Amino acid sequence: MELRPSFQIPALIKSLTDVVLPAVDPANKLALEQGQLVVGMLHLMAQRLPLQYRYDRHELVSYVALSDQLLTQAATITEAAAARQALTEAAADARALLARAGAEPAEIEAANSLLRERVGALITAAATTADAAALRSINTTVMTHAEAQLLRERAWVALQGWEGPAAALPAVETLIAR
Amino acid sequence: MAAVLDKNRPSPEWIAELRRRFPCEAEIDRVLTRKLERRAGPPYAPVSLAQLQAGTEALLKTQLATPFTVRDCRWLSGGASKLQMAFTLDWTPPGAGAVSTPLVLRMEPSEAITETSRLREFQIIKALEGVVPVPPTYWIDARGEYLPYPAIVYGFAEGVTKPSASSSGVSGVGTFMPPQVRETLGQQFVDHLAATHRFDWQRADLSAYDRPAPGTQALEWALNHWERVWEEDANEDVPLMRLTMAWLRRNMPPVDHVSVIHGDYRLGNFLYTEDDLQISAWLDWELAYLGDRHEDLSWCAKRPFGHLAEDGKTFLIGGFLPMADFVARYEQASGLKVDPLRMRYYDIFNNYKAVAIVLATGYRAPRNGKTHQDVLVAWITGIAYSLLDELRSQMAEVL
């Protein structure tokens, strides 16, 4: 899926900077100021988006550590028994979540990209075979995969309106549910 | 993990490998190679009307022996590929009196959603003057010596691309043509396509076009062209595209009559005058080449370039004619047959080409900030997935 923020945000910044803001009436100070702030906010998003997941995971590690320390220190405070119990449960959930939070989004994107490339190379290389049965089998597999893949991608960009409501695309959330 | 090739900084070895793997017409090879060699360079920098005016004046000084004035410069909108500036030239053409001529400067950005040759575009428009309505061509800056990027100057044609009261999406997609214009414009739509395909290109000055041998050479060059574009520009590979190209190469139909192919013949790429419903100019010849007429026939029949009739069932090509009527009129006007098998082949070819343009180049050019409207090009990338799904359905029928 190409339409992701790392691709979209720089295009938004360039359009605003090169075309839109220079055309704003200089007398409209409110519009100028807000336009410049939009550009500034987009720059901040572009810079921080690749770190967002790592930041949140780091914060969670830090809060789990803080929770552990506080639970130890408040172990004998009877007035905090209910709060201690609630925090114990939340910290356990967070620890379990951290155990699943392994690879970074950029690593997953890179792995997808590499697999796409190698799959493509295999398809091209296999196309020259004289083994008709193997070729038919490969064709069927690729076509089946394409159907599900394209349904996800079409659903991802449905808001753009390329296909209209008649396409009745499912919500992408339902297609990528575990 | 193994590194994926960095297409944003192409190495000379990779460029050489692509040129070897995908031999295509010399001028197309030149512009694609130039694109890659420039890719790691700076992004597109905004160009002002004053800069374009100065560049146009510099170009005209090399072409005109008498005094002239470039005035009333203004931007023209429309299209996703090139910058266009309208202006008026006060000048004295050779052998004539002083005149004021409305003109258009059409210039490339640093990288476009379709990387093409201004020389080819200039030559084909000039060759077709008097054959179909085209704007008169005047001058060319083929290598960007006077203007920031390569450009041509041609006559300003009066007219609209869609009814004034009609709305449409980007680049004319989704335009509705009302019933009262369909017959008159639809017949011209067919006649001009027939005339283009019957045009005797052998005697025209088309030095920037390689002349294909009979058989499949024209198609092989075209497949190499678009597969090379896919390889050069695609970010994520798409298995369906690989499968499709393998099928296209295994099933190449020979070309029975080599024609001038417009390459983007459709609603949105011609102007017409609303008072008399006459097509005044066919535009956007940048993808023209010598090949099989079925490419144009299939392309103009694509769903985004037409709409349903009032019965809610009949698809109208270009918003004008049902397929059977369109084919009958075309065969009558051209004397050339429409082969359903080749139509199906070029339906697949055209979707491959369309996806290469919008998903590969449509990603790569704005990724590197190379166009004057990155946000529009990036937006268009989204249409690739419905095109791919149509391609998937087409492939399911032939595999």
pLDDT in tens, A57-114: 999 999 999 999 999 999 999 999 999 999 999 999 999 999 999 899 999 999 999 9
Q: Where are the beta strands (DSSP E) in chain B?
A: 69-76, 83-91, 99-107, 137-141, 151-155, 258-261, 270-273, 278-282, 289-292, 307-308, 315-317, 321-322
Domain boundary among B130, B155, B180: B155
Which pLDDT value is given to residue B95?
86
CA A90/CA A86 separation, integer angstroms: 6
- Phi/psi for A104 (5° steps) reads -80, 155
Which pLDDT value is given to residue A165?
78
Which residue range(s) make up the domain with B99?
49-155
**For chain A, how many residues are written?**
178
Which pLDDT value is given to residue B162?
87
Q: Do A9 and A89 belong to one domain?
A: yes
Q: Do A146 and B392 touch (CB under 8 A)?
A: yes
Q: How many domains does chain A have?
A: 2
Chain B partners within 8 Å of A8 (Cβ): 378
Q: Do B239 and A116 touch (CB under 8 A)?
A: yes
Which pLDDT value is given to residue A66?
97
Q: Is A168 on the interface with B (CB under 8 A)?
A: no
> Quick check: helix, strand or coil at residue B215?
strand
Q: Do B178 and B320 belong to one domain?
A: yes
Domain boundary among A72, A100, A128: A100
Q: Which of A114, A116, A150 lies closest to B385 in CB terms?
A: A150
Q: Do B381 and A2 touch (CB under 8 A)?
A: yes
Q: Do B223 and B294 belong to one domain?
A: yes
Q: Do B164 and B88 belong to one domain?
A: no
- ipTM (interface predicted TM): 0.88
Q: Do A74 and A112 belong to one domain?
A: no
Which pLDDT value is given to residue B81?
78
Which residue range(s) make up the domain with A12?
5-100
Chain A partners within 8 Å of B389 (Cβ): 150-151, 154
Tens of pLDDT along chain B (399 residues) come to: 555 689 999 999 999 999 999 999 999 999 999 999 999 999 998 899 999 999 999 999 999 999 999 999 998 876 667 899 999 999 999 888 999 999 999 999 888 899 999 999 999 999 999 999 999 999 999 999 999 999 999 999 999 998 887 766 655 667 889 999 999 999 999 999 999 999 999 999 999 999 999 899 999 999 999 999 999 999 999 999 999 999 999 999 999 999 999 999 999 999 999 999 999 999 999 999 999 999 999 999 998 899 999 999 999 999 999 999 999 999 999 999 999 999 999 999 999 999 999 999 999 999 999 998 899 999 999 999 999 999 999 999 999
Which pLDDT value is given to residue B135?
96
Do B234 and B363 meet the contact criterion of CB atoms below 8 Å apart? yes
- Which chain B residues have any C-beta within 8 angstroms of a chain A C-beta? 1-2, 4-5, 43, 46, 235-243, 245-246, 249-250, 359, 363, 366-367, 369, 372-379, 381-386, 388-389, 392, 395-396, 399
Nearest chain A alpha carbon to B361: A2
Which pLDDT value is given to residue B168?
60
Look at residue B110 and tell me if it is in a domain: yes
Q: What is the pLDDT of residues A153-165, one digit of tens each?
A: 999 999 998 887 7
Q: Is A18 on the interface with B (CB under 8 A)?
A: yes
Q: Do B113 and B255 belong to one domain?
A: no
Q: Is A106 on the interface with B (CB under 8 A)?
A: no
Q: How many domains does chain B have?
A: 2
Chain A partners within 8 Å of B46 (Cβ): 18-19, 22
How close A136 comes to chain B (CA, Å)?
8
Chain A partners within 8 Å of B249 (Cβ): 127
CA B88/CA B377 separation, integer angstroms: 29
How close A109 comes to chain B (CA, Å)?
10
Do B262 and B285 meet the contact criterion of CB atoms below 8 Å apart? yes
Q: Do A80 and A18 belong to one domain?
A: yes
Q: Which of B246, B389, B396 lies closest to A127 in CB terms?
A: B246
